[in-house]
Structure 1
Amino acid sequence: MKRFSNAIARHEQEEADLRQSGVEKALNNRTVKSLPVYKRRAWFFKVMKRVPARRK
């Protein structure tokens, strides 16, 4: 997860913000908790891609 956010963010602070907003969205979404682990990971990476952040 950290490598992925590092790949799409410009700076270290943006990377941390990207991960934090992804985790925040995951915690607010109740259906994520019922998904199998492999689908949770896919969902999380998709959310991180969609978070409006400055990209490289």
Structure 2
Amino acid sequence: MRFLPDCTPGYYNNEGQAPSPWSLLNVGYPAGATAYFSYLERWRSSGTFEGLDFR
């Protein structure tokens, strides 16, 4: 999000407007896509599915 003020106004940076509270949720995994896919693989293979509640 820090780079958005330097971008030419457009769709992805809300035409140069300040970020709204909701726009802060529209970011990727902080460590990048490869780290996210590794995280998912570890989470799935653990079998505990931490964070989910099966009812």
Is the TM value for this pair above 0.5? no
Name the TM-score class by shorter chain: 0.3 to 0.5
TM-score normalised by structure 2 residue count? 0.36
**Greater per-residue helix proportion:** 1
Q: Which has the higher contact order (CA 8 A, sep 6+)?
A: 1
TM-score by length of 1: 0.36
